[in-house]
Amino acid sequence: MKIFSKFLFLILLCLIGCQNETDEGNVPKEPVPGYLELLEAHSAEKVFSKVLRGSDADVVIFEDGTRVTVPLTSFLIHDCTKDEPADVKVAGQWWSIDDKVYGIMVDMTLPDAQAQPVYVYYDRRGLYMKLSNTHLLTFTTLYNEEEKLSEQEIARQQNIPVIYIDTKGVEILDKENYVEGTITIKDPEKLYSDVTEFSAKMGIRGRGNSTWSFPKKPWKVKLKEKAQLLGMPADKEWALLANYSDRTLLRNVVAMELSRICGFSWTPRMVSVEVYLNNRYQGVYNLCEHKKISEDRVNIDIVGEGDNSGEAITGGYYLEIEQQQDETTCWWTKMGAPMMFSDPEVPTPEQLEYVKGYIDDFETALKNRDFSEETGYLKYIDLTSFLNYYIVQELTKNIDGDLRKSTFLTKERGKKMEMYHLWDFDLTLGNAGYFDPSVGDSTYRGYWIKKSSWYRYMFNDPAFVDALQARWNELYPELDRIPEFIDRQALFLDKAKDRNFEVWDIKASVDWVNMPSKGSYEKELQYLKEFYINRLEWLNTELMKL
């Protein structure tokens, strides 16, 4: 940090005033936005987590979820994670930064609330504020050690957990019948919990729709008894996602990070692992929480057989939009959404009629452009969840996210319909080449979800557009950090990915996906990041034009 920009110089002049005004330096000034909030956080001993960089503001995030927004016109928060902080010292009655004197007067008599921030920065160990009254505030942080990883630490993190499945040689033939066996999970580096080895009896079968037809098979595992796996809450049912179509092996992991950022009611937890089946290496998988009604997953109370009238019939229901229509109770809505009941699998006639009628009324209000909160489409949906769903699906340009496949909704008792969680993102972020050319394409440009059945009507509502723009701006600073997240996740796979592609050739064709290999993992990873960055900035520009 030895070079201080002219931009900072101009900001400080605007905030503090020039040296000719120093005679009034002891007159308390109006605190700049964000400053008092940071002082309050320091006084409350809030634990500093990170800073999200934005184009107009920085957002300081604390471990308890507190967020303090600091506009760039207030003061700069310098990123010293890679460079040394600037040399800040007193020059006469003024503060100097890297031997340059700016219009900030030294006044040790001022309380912190009336002082000015001279130099604010964060490094790998914490956040610091140098004040004009000479105080240096150091924020409490969980990261007391240098985060810079040693070669030994990198090697340790690259030893991801390994799962051994033993079915005594019996083949897993289909998606209906479980094959009995045992599962052993080894995490000798304790990356996810203090348990280095876990073994249990279980059954295993196939899972997925199109993915079950691929050479690298996805599976569902059902333990005999509930258990925590790799730090995830205890349950019997788990999924092993193969990610055969995704040559980065990361797109589902990235999508779940986007889900976490948006704050969906449930984000399926997943961990990258390596899998052996009957001592034969299968490659890198995601061990993931299976989607189901559960206290730690889709946490709603499902209707009973007797809940057929009054308030009781209003919920709860766990629904799926899926064009495969492979559940027991399925139908197509008037706007062409392929709906299914996930739970209850077989509703009573009254419950089926209620849910169908509820969605029909919602679609009618949309079509009639009834934007009233009392009588219009907003009467039927949890708006924030629908905004979050749109942002993630559009940002990833999910070819299946246009209200056609793998979309999960809940309708709880006395509540509105909610987009509850996300699922199935291996064909996103530029990894699908079979878009209908009359509607969209596989490039980072162009809307896709905006044109889908429900959303194209929502965009006719100015209030929906306003809410979407506000939600986007709120989330943008964290969305902007996803490329860094991708790099960290790729680091975990640095050893395992080579073993995976020794078995499953990275240049092998997945014909129907219609996205030829880039030729190497490094090129695939770079393509993923470039697509995301370009898509993020394209949307950041275009959404604000609506």
146 part of a folded domain: no
Is 302 within the bounds of a domain?
no
* 537 occurs within a structural domain: yes
- Give just the sign of the alpha carbon dihedral 242, 320, 292, 492: positive
Pairing, β 48-53 against β 57-62 = antiparallel
193 and 133 share a domain? no
Cα dihedral 350, 351, 356, 357, rounded to 10, equals 60
Residue 259 region, left (φ>0) first, then alpha (ψ -120 to 50), else beta? Answer: alpha
99, part of any domain: yes
Q: How many domains does the chain have?
A: 3
Which of the listed residues 110, 138, 166 is the one where a domain comes to its end? 138
What is the mean pLDDT of each successive set of 10 residues along the chain, which is 546 residues long? 39 35 43 92 89 87 90 91 81 84 84 92 85 84 55 81 96 95 96 94 94 94 97 97 97 97 96 96 98 97 98 98 96 97 98 98 97 95 98 98 97 98 97 90 95 97 97 94 92 95 90 88 95 96 96
Q: Domain span at residue 14?
A: 6-138
Residues 319, 457, single domain; the answer is yes
Q: What is the CA radius of gyration of the chain?
A: 27
For residues 96 and 63, membership in a common domain is answered with yes
CA angle at residue 125 from 40 to 479, to 5 degrees? 75
Q: Decide: 121 and 80 in contact? Cβ < 8 Å.
A: yes
H-helix or E-strand spanning residue 71: strand 67-71
Q: Are residues 402 and 461 in the same domain?
A: yes
Residue with tokens 């100097």: 96
* HEC string for 327-377: CCCEEECCCCCEEEEEECCCCCHHHHHHHHHHHHHHHHHHHCCCCCCCCCH
436 and 378 in a common domain: yes
List Cβ neighbours of 47 (8 Å cut-off, separation of 6 or more). 62, 63, 64, 139, 140, 141, 142
Burial (CB count within 10 angstroms: exposed 0-12, middle 13-18, buried 19+), residue 427: buried
What pLDDT digit, counting tens, does each position of 113-129 carry?
Answer: 999 999 999 887 789 99
Together in a domain, 350 and 239: no
Of 114, 138, 162, the domain-final residue? 138
Tokens read off for 501 = 């592609």
Q: Let me know: does 352 contact 392? Beta carbons within 8 Å.
A: no
Domain boundary among 138, 169, 204: 138
Residue the block writes with tokens 């006639």: 349
The set of residues, in sequence order, having a beta carbon less than 8 Å from that of 114 and lying 6+ positions away, is: 28, 29, 31
pLDDT for 195 equals 92
Same domain (yes/no): 191, 258:
yes
108 & 25 share domain: yes
- Would you call 163 helix, strand, or coil by DSSP? strand
With beta carbons less than 8 A apart as the criterion, state whether 63 and 142 touch. yes
Q: Are 98 and 23 found together in one domain?
A: yes
* Strands ordered across the beta sheet of 88-91: 88-91, 94-97, 100-105
CB atoms within 10 A of CB 453: 17
How far is 85 from 103, CA to CA, in rounded Å?
A: 20
157 and 231 co-located in one domain: yes
Amino acid symbol at 456 = R
Q: Assess if residue 317 is contained within a domain.
A: yes
Tell me, what's the pLDDT at 520? 94
Q: Are strands 136-138 and 126-131 parallel, antiparallel or unpaired?
A: antiparallel
Within-domain flag for 299:
no
**Phi, psi for residue 112 in degrees, rounded to 5:** -55, -40
Which pLDDT belongs to residue 509?
A: 79
User: Is 288:296 a contact under the CB 8 Å cutoff?
Assistant: no
Helix/strand/coil (H/E/C) assignment for every residue in 87-142: CEEEECCEEEECCEEEEEECCCCCCHHHCCEEEEEEECCEEEEEECCCCEEECCEC
How many secondary structure helices (H) and strands (E) does the chain include?
11, 22
Longest Cα separation, the chain: 87
pLDDT digits (tens, 9 = 90+) for 296-341: 999 999 999 999 999 999 999 999 999 999 999 999 999 999 999 9
Same structural domain, 278 and 393 = no
Note the pLDDT of residue 139.
85
Quick one: pLDDT at residue 149?
61
Three-class DSSP category at 537: helix
Whether residue 519 is found in the same domain as residue 417: yes
Q: Enumerate residues 6+ apart whose C-beta is below 8 A from 13.
A: 102, 103
Cβ atoms of 223 and 198 closer than 8 Å:
no
The reported pLDDT for the residue numbered 21 is 32
Q: Tell me if 295 is assigned to some domain.
A: no
Token pair recorded at residue 359: 């969605």
Is residue 1 in a domain? no
